[in-house]
Structure 1
Amino acid sequence: MAMMDEARPEGEARGPTFEDLTLDDTLNDLERVEVYGDSHIALQRLVHVRLLAEVAETYGFEATRDRLLPLVDKRVSDEEFVVRQNLAEQLRGVARMLHEHGGDEGYSLIVERVLRSLARLVVDIQPEVRIAAGESLVTVAAMLKPADLGARLLTIVVHLAHNDEAEDMRMTAAVLLNELAVSLGPELCEQFVCSELEHLARDPVFRVRKATALNIDAVCRVVGPAVAAARLLPSFLLLADDDIWGVRKACAESLVCVSKALVPEVRVAKVLPLMQSFLRDASRWVRNSAYQHLGPFLATLPPAAITPAVLAPFIAMAPRVDPPRGTMPASTPPPDAELSIFCAFSFPAVAFTLGGARWDELRPLFLVLARHPEKKVRRPISYALHDIARVVGPDLTFRDLFPVFDLFCRDVDDVRRGVIRGMAPFLASLHPADREACVPVLRETLDSVPARGWRLRRLLARQMHSLARIFSPMMVFAQVRPVAESLLKDEVAAVRNAVAVRLAPLLETVGAASLVLREDIEASLLSGATSGNASTRLTLARALEALAAELPPEDFLGSFLATLKRLGRDPVPGVRRRVAALARRAAEAAASAKAAAAASDALKPAAPAAGSAVSTAGASAGASAAAGPASATSSPEAAAALAVCASEPSALGGSGGGGGGGKAGAIAVSGASEATTSSVRGADAVTMSTDDTAALFLIENPDRAPPTPALAYLADAPGMAELLAQLRRDADAEVRLAAGEEVVVGARRGAVGSDEGRGGPEHDEQGAASGAGSESMLAGESGEAPGVEGAPEVAVAPAVVGNPDDPDAFADAAFASGLPSSAAVAPAVSEAVPPIPPAVDGSA
Structure 2
Amino acid sequence: FAGLSLYFEDSHDDMDDFGFDDYGSDCDGIRITAFLDAGQDNLTPLGRLEKYAFSENVFNRQIVARGLLDVLREFSENENDFISVMETVARMSEDGEPTVRAELMEQVPNIAMFLHESRPNFPAAFSRYLVPIVVRYLTDPNNQVRKTSQAALLVLLEQGLISKADMETKVCPVLLDLTEPASDDDYKIEAVAIQNAFNAGSSFMCLQCFLKDTFFELCSDSLWGIRKACAECFMMVSNSTSPEVRRSKLSPLFINLISDQSRWVRQAAFQSLGRFISTFANPSSTGLHFRDDGTLPDIPRCVSDSNCSLNSLNCNEISNCHTERSIPHTPPNQDGRATPSPEHVSTAESEDLHNFEDDHTSVLGEPHDNFTLTVRSDSSTATKSPSITKGTEQTDENFNSFHYWRSPLPDISGELEMLNCQTSVEVTEKEEKEEEEAEELEENCPDSKSSHGKATSDQIQKVLDCLQPHIADPDNVIPQPLLDQYLSMTDPARAQTVDTEIAKHCAFSLPGVALTLGRQNWHCLKDTYETLASDVQWKVRRTLAFSIHELAVILGDQLTAADLVPIFNGFLKDLDEVRIGVLKHLYDFLKLLHADKRREYLYQLQEFMVTDNSRNWRFRYELAEQLILIIELYNHRDVYDYLRHIALTLCSDKVSEVRWISYKLVVEILQKLYASRADDLGLDFINELTVRFCHCPKWVGRQAFAFICQAVVEEDCMPMEQFSQHLLPSLLSLSTDPVANVRVLVAKALRQSVMEKGNVCRLSALEETVMALQSDKDRDVRFFASMEPSKGLMDTAPFI
Q: How many residues align?
A: 580
What letter corresponds to residue 259 of structure 2 in structure 1?
R
**Which residue is equivalent to 1:261?**
240
Shift in Å at residue 433 of structure 1? 0.2
For the 8 Å contact 2:608–2:620, the answer to whether it is kept is no
Q: Which piece of structure 1 moves more, 544-553 or 165-174?
A: 165-174
TM alignment of 1:232-251, pairs within 5 A: 233-251=212-230
2:92 and 2:35 mapped to 1: Cα distance?
25
Contact 1:408 1:415 in 2 (8 A): yes
SS at match of 2:737: coil
Question: Which residue of structure 2 lines up, in the alignment, with residue 315 of structure 1?
Answer: 487
Select which of 516, 530, 533 maps to 2:695: 530
State the one-letter code of the partner of 1:319.
D
The TM-score, its normalising length taken from structure 2, stands at 0.63
Cα-to-partner distance string for 1:61-100 (whole Å, 9 max, x where unaligned): 979998899479637757567x866765x437636xx54x
Q: Which amino acid aligns with 1:104?
A: E
Give the 5 Å matches for 1:81-120: 88=65, 90-91=66-67, 94=70, 99=73, 104-105=77-78, 112-113=84-85, 116-117=88-89, 120=92
Paired with 2:93 and 2:103, the residues of 1 have a C-alpha distance of: 9
Aligned-pair CA distance for 1:398:
3.0
Instruction: Tell me, yes or no, if the aligned pair for 2:591 and 2:633 is still in contact at 8 Å.
Output: yes
Q: Provide the residue aligned with 1:800 in structure 2.
A: none
The residue aligned with 2:731 is 564
Question: Partners of 2:761 and 2:500 in 1: how far apart?
Answer: 61
Q: Distance in 1 between matches of 2:768 and 2:32?
A: 51
Q: Secondary structure in 2 aligned to 1:243?
A: coil
1:707-758 Cα offsets, whole Å, 9 max, x none, are xxxxx8789966545444433332222323444559xxxxxxxxxxxxxxxx
Describe the superposition over 1:667-693 as per-residue Cα deviations: whole angstroms up to 9, x where unpaired: xxxxxxxxxxxxxxxxxxxxxxxxxxx
| Structure 1 residues 273-305: Cα deviation after superposition (integer angstroms, max 9, x where no partner) | 332221122222111111112222222222553
Residues 379 and 155 of structure 1, relative CA distance in 2, 3 Å threshold: same
Distance (whole Å) between structure 1 residues aligned to residue 621 and residue 738 of structure 2: 29
- Does the C-alpha gap of structure 1 residues 240 and 575 become closer, same or farther in structure 2, counting only changes over 3 Å? same
Task: Determine if contact 1:49/1:87 at 8 Å carries over to the other structure.
Answer: no
The alpha carbon displacement at 1:443 in A equals 1.0
1:542 to 707, 714, 719: 707
Q: Structure 2: how far apart are the matches of 1:122 and 1:457?
A: 58
Aligned counterparts of 2:685 and 2:189: Cα–Cα separation in 1? 66
Counterpart for residue 597 of structure 2 = 434
The answer to which structure, 1 or 2, has the higher relative contact order (CA under 8 A, 6+ apart) is 1
Contact 2:196 2:236 in 1 (8 A): yes
Asked if the contact 2:267–2:498 (Cα under 8 Å) also holds between the matched residues in 1, the reply is: no
Matched, 1:554 2:719: yes
Structure 1 CA distance, aligned partners of 2:599 and 2:572?
17
Matched, 1:211 2:376: no
1:143 and 2:307 matched = no
2:504 is the alignment partner of 1:341: yes
Go from structure 1 to structure 2 and tell me whether the alpha carbon gap of 1:172 and 1:521 turns closer, same or farther (over 3 Å shift): closer
Q: Does the Cα contact within 8 Å between 1:504 and 1:551 map onto a contact in 2?
A: no
**Gap change, CA 1:397 and 1:305, over 3 Å in 2:** closer
* Aligned equivalent of 1:306: 478
Instruction: Answer yes or no: is the 8 Å Cα contact 2:138–2:146 preserved in 1.
Output: yes
Amino acid at match of 2:20: D
- Aligned with 2:510: secondary structure? helix
* Inter-CA distance 68–731: structure 2 relative to 1 (3 Å threshold): farther
Three-state SS of the structure 1 residue aligned to 2:535 is: coil
Structure 1 residue 507: Cα displacement:
2.4
Residues 175, 212 of structure 1: 8 Å contact kept: no
1:50 Cα offset (Å): 2.5
Residue pairs, 1:383-532, within 5 angstroms: 383-448=546-611, 450-511=613-674, 512=676, 514-527=678-691, 528-532=693-697
Q: CA deviation at 1:577?
A: 1.7
Could you say what secondary structure the match of 1:104 adopts?
coil
SS state at 2:77 partner: helix
Query: Amino acid of the residue matched to residue 628 of structure 2?
Result: H
1:579 aligns with 2:746: yes
Distance 2:597 2:611 in 1: 22
**Which residue matches 2:530?**
367
Counterpart of 1:180 in structure 2 is 156
In 1, Cα distance between equivalents of 2:775 and 2:746: 14
What amino acid does structure 1 have at the position aligned with 2:623? L
1:257 and 1:717 mapped to 2: Cα distance?
67
The aligned counterpart of 1:818 is: none
Letter in 2 for 1:523: N
Q: Pick closer, same or farther for the CA change 1:172–1:460 going to 2, 3 Å.
A: closer
Contact 2:752 2:792 in 1 (8 A): no
Identify which of 155, 175, 186 aligns with 1:197.
175
In 1: Cα distance, 2:11 partner to 2:194 partner: 45
1:133 to 101, 104, 107: 104
> By how many angstroms is 1:160 displaced?
4.2
User: Structure 1: any 5+ residue segments left out of the alignment?
Assistant: 1-14, 22-32, 325-332, 591-620, 622-711, 743-802, 816-844
1:584-609 deviations in whole A, cap 9, x for unaligned?
54489x5xxxxxxxxxxxxxxxxxxx
- Aligned mates of 1:364, 1:345 — CA distance in 2: 16
Amino acid aligned to 1:48:
D
What residue identity is the alignment partner of 1:148? A
Percent identity of paired positions between Structure 1 and Structure 2: 27
Match of 1:273 in 2: 252
Decide which moves more: 65-74 or 307-316: 65-74
Query: Alpha carbon RMSD of aligned pairs, Å?
Result: 4.3
CA distance in 1, matches of 2:681, 2:231: 61
Counterpart check, 1:155 vs 2:132: yes
